Amino acid sequence: MKINNSKEEVLLKRIEDTRQKMIKTSTLFPLHSYEVVTISVKLDNLLNKWEILYGKNEKRNF
């Protein structure tokens, strides 16, 4: 079992977890609700961080 994950793996996990949370939340609340907007902003920030670290071409894969 790998204890120390690379920054890339940790960031990918956070992005995927946030995407799943966004999907679940958007089915429960209207798209303009505080909950959905908050998660959307968090996901956008994570994707921007990915873009800064790994470039725009990699960001398109999401």
39 part of a folded domain: yes
Q: How far is residue 46's CA from residue 37's CA, in Å, rounded to a whole number?
A: 14
Give the pTM: 0.76
54 part of a folded domain: yes
- As for how many domains the chain has, the answer is 1
Question: What is the band of 12 on the pLDDT scale with cuts at 50, 70, 90?
Answer: very high
Per-residue confidence (pLDDT) for residue 5, from 0 to 100:
72
Write out the residue range of the structural domain in which residue 47 sits. Answer: 15-59
Selected residue with higher pLDDT from 40 and 59? 40
Question: What is the band of 47 on the pLDDT scale with cuts at 50, 70, 90?
Answer: very high
Per-residue confidence (pLDDT) for residue 8, from 0 to 100:
87
30 part of a folded domain: yes
33: enclosing H helix or E strand: none
Q: How buried is 3 (Cβ within 10 angstroms: 0-12 exposed, 13-18 middle, 19+ buried)?
A: exposed
Q: How far is residue 14's CA from residue 34's CA, in Å, rounded to a whole number?
A: 20
Q: How far is residue 3's CA from residue 18's CA, in Å, rounded to a whole number?
A: 22
32 part of a folded domain: yes
Per-residue confidence (pLDDT) for residue 44, from 0 to 100:
95
10 part of a folded domain: no
50 part of a folded domain: yes
Contact 40, 22 (CB under 8 A): yes
